[in-house]
A and B are shown apart, each in its own frame.
Chain A
Amino acid sequence: MALIDLANPTRFLALANRVLPWLAAATAIVLAYGLYRVAYAPDDYQQGATVKIMFLHVPSAWLAMMGWGLMTVAALGTLVWRHPLADVAVKAAAPIGAAFTFICLITGSLWGRPMWGTYWVWDARLTSVLVLFLLYLGMLALYWTADDPNRAARAAAILALVGAVNIPIIKFSVDWWNTLHQPASVVRMDGPAIDPTILVPLLVMALAFTLLFFTLHIAAMRNEILRRRVRSMRMMQAASA
């Protein structure tokens, strides 16, 4: 059996039904442990207790970019192999990626006000993340307004590939331009610049958010497969009437 045969919608539904309860349970456990570690993490010597916002902001920022990365890989599946699950994956990831990008923007803004003295500044990092959020909204609008799912899939795949250009811009914006936003402090060539007492809770929260992302994504993919079945059955009903 070819690998691609394993990725048919019926097999995916069976797999999703088996995996989702375990994934949801793992998310709840890791999230509970992460929040416990966050509650007892020490204050930052400069930022005080506002560092607690980082435990939401940084994982959301990572997942905002990972979500678009996932959509980009799936978009290749749509354009190159025309695999039906690829478009399902793109469509299901869009609202989840948009939600995490929104959380990233909101928490960043609420962290910026006490630390920078402003909720917003048009620097390269903040602006490129706002562009990512607008790209997600564009993707959602494309799916919600399209009459023909096949044309929507192709257009969405192209938008995903074009939007992928923004991901390295977000990542390296703090290096390429002079920004108010601080440079990378975790994913760096010479190792994290954060003390382990804060880094460990941050990584646990990042794992919890990642598990949450995949739980919601698999559940949303399952919904989308069922929605397409409903559409196909309604078309057959209309054709036979």
Chain B
Amino acid sequence: MISLGPHASFIVVAYLATVIVILGLTVWIVRDYAVQRRILGDLESRGIKRRSQREDQA
């Protein structure tokens, strides 16, 4: 068993805070990707194309 000594609470809070910040950031980025993909898919399904896509078809 790992002993964290008399200042265990400071060590545990430091690790917890780091996990919360990194997890929060990761979840935010992953969700943002899903949101942008959904909006992009919605716009494309309505026939809206970017200028470069139109040029490719021309």
List residues of chain A with CB under 8 Å of any chain B CB. 10, 39-40, 43, 48-50, 52-53, 56-57, 60, 95-96, 99, 102-103, 106-107, 110-111, 113-114, 212, 216, 219-220, 222-223, 226-227, 229-230, 232-234, 236-237
B30-58, CB < 8 A from A = 30, 32-33, 36-37, 39-40, 43-44, 46, 48-52
* Interfacial chain B residues near A234, Cβ < 8 Å: 43
A-B contact list, 7 entries, CB within 8 Å: A50-B7, A95-B25, A103-B17, A106-B21, A216-B25, A230-B40, A236-B49
CB < 8 Å: which of B18, B33, B36, B51 contacts A56? Answer: B18
Give chain B nearest CB distance to A218 CB in angstroms. Answer: 10
* Interfacial chain A residues near B4, Cβ < 8 Å: 49, 52
* Interfacial chain A residues near B51, Cβ < 8 Å: 232, 236
Q: Are A226 and B33 in contact (CB under 8 A)?
A: yes
Chain A to chain B: the 8 pairs with minimum beta-carbon distance, closest first: A226-B36, A49-B5, A114-B7, A110-B14, A107-B14, A49-B4, A223-B32, A48-B5
Give chain A nearest CB distance to B39 CB in angstroms. Answer: 5
* Interfacial chain A residues near B25, Cβ < 8 Å: 95-96, 99, 216
Give chain B nearest CB distance to A113 CB in angstroms. Answer: 6
Q: Given A223-B33, A236-B48, does the pair A49, B3 have CB atoms closer than 8 Å? A: yes
Complex Cα distance A95/B8, Å?
30
| Minimal Cβ-Cβ distance residue in A for B28 | A95
Q: Are A113 and B10 in contact (CB under 8 A)?
A: yes
* Interfacial chain A residues near B28, Cβ < 8 Å: 95
Q: Are B40 and A226 in contact (CB under 8 A)?
A: yes
Q: Are A236 and B50 in contact (CB under 8 A)?
A: yes
* Interfacial chain B residues near A114, Cβ < 8 Å: 7, 10
Complex Cα distance A45/B29, Å?
41
Q: Given A99-B22, A223-B36, A237-B43, does the pair A49, B11 have CB atoms closer than 8 Å? A: yes
Give chain A nearest CB distance to B43 CB in angstroms. Answer: 5
Q: Given A50-B7, A110-B13, A110-B14, does the pair A99, B29 have CB atoms closer than 8 Å? A: no
Complex Cα distance A221/B21, Å?
19
CB < 8 Å: which of B8, B37, B44 contacts A49? Answer: B8
Q: Are B49 and A233 in contact (CB under 8 A)?
A: yes
Give chain B nearest CB distance to A101 CB in angstroms. Answer: 10
Give chain A nearest CB distance to B27 CB in angstroms. Answer: 11
Complex Cα distance A227/B14, Å?
34
| Minimal Cβ-Cβ distance residue in A for B3 | A49
* Interfacial chain A residues near B24, Cβ < 8 Å: 99
Complex Cα distance A102/B17, Å?
10
Give chain A nearest CB distance to B14 CB in angstroms. Answer: 4
Give chain A nearest CB distance to B46 CB in angstroms. Answer: 8
